[in-house]
Amino acid sequence: MMKEKFSLKADLVIGIGDLSKLTGVSTRQLRYWEERGYLETPITEKNITRKYKFEVFYKVQAIKKYLDEGFTLAKAAEQADQRKKQVIICKKFVNATFVDVSIADDEKLFGKIDMGYVDKEETQHLYGIVDKNGSHFEINKE
């Protein structure tokens, strides 16, 4: 018998009440945003609370953030969708280039991210550094 693979995106759901509590957006607002097409239609069964795919949590947070910054609902939802696309591109880039992480300080979470070579000759390595000064890049020649 083949084991079913768990997918965080597909399998995790959140009820409308919990979504409201976690984001600070009322259930009434969530329903309105859904009616207007700004949120995906929830997973529903007869006589059961609305349940949303967990990824909706991030979109609701983003819409709320943009509303708080003064955007209209339509523009806030548009910005949230644009932000999601940007994050997807960043994830693709990091997954394609990421090599390793060296932890320099467990408590302060300082370290060095090895992003691989930046030249065809493979003599220069790109590192993302997180230290007491913040975050920055370094290129080291080998």
Res 59: pLDDT = 95
| Lowest mean pLDDT across 25-34, 42-51, 123-132 | 42-51
In this prediction, residue 61 carries a pLDDT of 96
Under 8 Å between Cβ of 27 and 14: no
- Does residue 5 carry a pLDDT above 60? no
How much is the pLDDT for 132?
92
Tell me what percent of the residues of the chain surpass a pLDDT of 70. 89
Q: What is the mean pLDDT of residues 75-79?
A: 97
The predicted structure's pLDDT at residue 44: 66
How far is residue 47's CA from residue 43's CA, in Å, rounded to a whole number?
Answer: 12
**Claim: this prediction has a pTM higher than 0.85:** no
Average pLDDT estimate for 31-37: 94
Vertex 18 angle, CA 12 and 19, to 5°: 75
